[in-house]
């Protein structure tokens, strides 16, 4: 059918944040809103003619509608083949895997990750180029720039494509191939981990609970854990993706994954291990029996024990963590004699290190862990890695963490989020904090002296690209640290994140409650930025 060229005008604010463009569903339903952004991708990224595109999302409300629109636009823009997950589903790491396995030009992933879904929830879109990773800033900047000048987009008037059955159909002369969203991904996992050993673990009565949080990981976890690894039916809970995530908040942490937390912290009959993933399947939370593993510690434990997993037995080139992540991975890296890189928040900053073979494992404090097997963080991968370690060492989750603490010390760590603050208050707070940095060096706070106070700036060691204003960090003489930054993924007001940590090397003092162990530093964090006084809040909205 004939290509229709639709006149349009730019929308303000189509700027991708930490991970793609995220707005409320109501914004994405505005006429031309999605179309403008998709056309900007096609215009800004060279090479689409005759190329293969991967397409899928986390199944949230508006996913299916958006996919039909993007298929019509892809055909009108000269894409030759689209690989789309059955029912429009692809997890973020699943999409990364398919982009790489099928050597696609890139992928469009529809997700607002851990943000709530449904008609009143959030929606999002991101572009991953051919390495399978989040677009680096030079690409997101080019896309954003294009959204500011766009005057038309191209689309076809073709009927809806049936996405429920595997196989190929045509949209005009573009091939749409509906693929099993799990197949390539599950095959990759079998090459990385010792599936026989994990199967043996389950046969021996090991019990785990995986909470899919009604989001995209359900089908992946059911296939891999229950079907391929023989975990008992029912190991996966909330495993069917719903377009409103069961009205939940698909964020795997102690606050939102309450079904799972209740089971793992039960006095009687708690399973040996618990895990959860987020809306688009790239985050993970790991729990032992009545034991919570901080994401920073999780990265440190995986790094320390990587050689037990077949995919990493060759050793690690290096490890990378985002700046606000605790320094536990640095300590393990030092013990192992490998490099540890510190990058700004957001998985896009790990891409060059992974591509260049400088880092093998990466992680963020925000429940993100991954490796060079794909170019996104990967929730289920982390769960399988932990299962592999438990199977290979015969140790419990808790024992693996304690063993790491015994070797490199414990770092008490917490993140306090102040959500939906008026943007002006949050921005003024950060501006004033930045302005105060010059005078902070050498000052004393609650018995600690400031050794460094700056606004984190980063120069990529591989391609030299620069990023500035990535978060205010204050380091103290005892190794304690406070970091402040504003979230780049929210859709309402501003979210202030405060990251607080201190090392504890004395084994006799490694068993305290985290909030108690950090109480004085939490007070310092408030005093330095005037959080309570400026926001009028008594405390954070979410503590992780």
Q: Where along the sequence are the contacts to Co ion (CB under 5 A)? A: 113, 278, 280, 282-283
Interface region with ligand VG1, contact rule CB under 6 A, candidates 2-10, 190-198, 441-449, 486-494: 486-494
Write down the residue that tokens 């879904």 correspond to: 117
Label residue 409 exposed, middle or buried (CB < 10 Å: 0-12, 13-18, 19+): middle
Q: If DSSP codes are grouped into helix, strand and coil, which group holds residue 387?
A: helix
DSSP-derived letter for residue 224 is I
Residue 22 binding: pick among ligand VG1, Co ion, none (C-beta 5-8 Å cut-off by kind): none
Tokens describing residue 466? 């620069």
Choice from 113, 222, 343, 369 touching ligand VG1 (CB under 6 A): 113
347 belongs to the binding site for ligand VG1 (CB under 6 A): yes
278 belongs to the binding site for ligand VG1 (CB under 6 A): yes
**Whole-number minimum distance, CB 377 to Co ion, in Å?**
7
Give alpha helix (H) positions in 29-101.
33-44, 63-76, 92-101
Interface region with ligand VG1, contact rule CB under 6 A, candidates 145-153, 209-217, 342-350, 404-412: 342-350
Residue 116 binding: pick among Co ion, ligand VG1, none (C-beta 5-8 Å cut-off by kind): none
Residue 210 binding: pick among Co ion, ligand VG1, none (C-beta 5-8 Å cut-off by kind): none
Looking at 90-135, which runs of residues are DSSP E strands?
Answer: 106-110, 122-129
**Whole-number minimum distance, CB 347 to Co ion, in Å?**
9
Nearer to ligand VG1, 105 or 347 (CB): 347
Nearer to ligand VG1, 25 or 161 (CB): 25
378 belongs to the binding site for ligand VG1 (CB under 6 A): no
In whole angstroms, what separates CA 235 from the centre of its chain? 23
Q: Which residue is nearest to ligand VG1 (CB)?
A: 113
346 belongs to the binding site for ligand VG1 (CB under 6 A): yes
497 belongs to the binding site for ligand VG1 (CB under 6 A): yes
468: annotated active-site residue: no
**Whole-number minimum distance, CB 41 to ligand VG1, in Å?**
18
Q: Within 13 Å, how many C-alpha atoms sit on residue 516's CB side?
A: 5
Tokens describing residue 110? 């529809």
8 Å CB contact between 168 and 159: no
- Measured CA to CA, the distance from residue 369 to residue 376 in angstroms comes to 9
| Residue 5, H or E segment | strand 4-7
> Residues 6 or more apart from 219 whose CB is under 8 A from it?
89, 181, 182, 239, 241
Nearer to ligand VG1, 239 or 250 (CB): 250
Measured at the CA of 239, the angle between CA 237 and CA 242, to 5 degrees, comes to 130
> Residues 6 or more apart from 371 whose CB is under 8 A from it?
311, 312, 354, 360, 361, 362, 378, 381
* Catalytic option among 91, 113, 298, 487: 113
Nearer to Co ion, 489 or 524 (CB): 489
Choice from 96, 366, 371, 388 touching ligand VG1 (CB under 6 A): 366
User: Which residues are designated catalytic?
Assistant: 113
Binding site for ligand VG1 (CB under 6 A): 18-19, 113-114, 278, 282-283, 322, 345-347, 364, 366, 368, 487-489, 497
């Amino acid at each position: 059918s004939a290509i229709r060229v639709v006149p349009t005008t730019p929308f303000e604010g189509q700027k991708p944040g930490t991970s793609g463009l995220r707005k409320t569903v109501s914004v994405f339903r505005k006429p031309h809103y999605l179309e403008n952004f998709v056309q900007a991708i096609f215009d800004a990224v060279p090479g689409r003619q005759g190329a293969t595109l991967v397409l899928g999302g986390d199944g949230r409300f508006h996913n299916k509608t958006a996919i039909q629109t993007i298929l019509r636009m892809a055909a009108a823009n000269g894409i030759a083949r689209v690989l789309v997950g059955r029912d429009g589903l692809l997890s973020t790491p699943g999409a990364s895997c398919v982009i790489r396995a099928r050597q696609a030009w890139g992928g469009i992933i529809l997700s607002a990750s851990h943000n709530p879904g449904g008609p009143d929830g959030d929606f999002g879109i991101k572009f991953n180029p051919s390495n399978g990773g989040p677009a680096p800033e030079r690409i997101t900047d080019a896309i954003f720039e294009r959204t500011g000048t766009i005057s038309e987009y191209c689309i076809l008037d073709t009927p809806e494509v049936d996405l429920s059955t595997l196989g190929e159909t045509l949209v005009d002369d573009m091939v749409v191939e509906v693929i099993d969203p799990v197949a390539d991904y599950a095959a990759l996992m079998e090459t990385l981990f010792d599936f026989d050993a994990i199967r043996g673990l389950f046969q021996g009565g090991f019990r785990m609970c995986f909470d899919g949080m009604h989001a995209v990981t359900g089908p992946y976890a059911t296939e891999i854990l229950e079907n391929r690894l023989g975990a008992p039916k029912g190991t996966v809970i909330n495993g069917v993706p719903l377009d409103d995530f069961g009205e939940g908040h698909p964020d795997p942490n102690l606050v939102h994954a309450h079904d799972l937390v209740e089971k793992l912290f039960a006095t009687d009959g708690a399973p040996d291990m618990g895990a959860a993933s987020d809306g688009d399947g790239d985050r993970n939370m790991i729990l032992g029996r009545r034991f919570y593993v901080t994401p920073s510690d999780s990265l440190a434990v995986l790094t320390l024990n990587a050689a037990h997993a077949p995919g990493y037995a060759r050793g690690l080139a290096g490890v990378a963590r985002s700046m606000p992540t605790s320094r536990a991975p640095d300590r393990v890296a030092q013990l192992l004699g490998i490099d540890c890189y510190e990058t700004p928040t957001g998985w896009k900053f790990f891409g060059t290190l992974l591509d260049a073979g400088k880092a093998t494992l990466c992680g963020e404090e925000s429940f993100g862990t991954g490796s060079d097997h794909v170019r996104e963080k990967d929730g289920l991968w982390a769960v399988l890695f932990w299962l592999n370690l438990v199977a290979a060492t015969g140790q419990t989750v808790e024992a693996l963490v304690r063993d790491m603490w015994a070797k490199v010390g414990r770092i008490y760590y917490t993140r306090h989020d102040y959500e939906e603050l008026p943007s002006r208050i949050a921005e003024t707070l950060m501006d004033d904090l930045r302005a105060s940095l010059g005078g902070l060096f050498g000052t004393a706070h609650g018995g600690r002296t400031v050794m460094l106070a700056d606004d984190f700036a980063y120069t990529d060691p591989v391609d030299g690209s620069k990023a500035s204003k990535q978060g205010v960090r204050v380091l103290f003489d005892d190794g304690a640290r406070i970091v402040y930054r504003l979230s780049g993924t929210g859709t309402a007001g501003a979210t202030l994140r405060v990251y607080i940590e201190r090392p504890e090397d004395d084994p006799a003092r490694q068993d305290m409650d985290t909030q108690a162990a950090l109480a004085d530093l939490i007070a310092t964090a408030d005093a330095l930025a005037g959080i309570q006084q400026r926001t009028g809040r008594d405390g954070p909205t979410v503590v992780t």
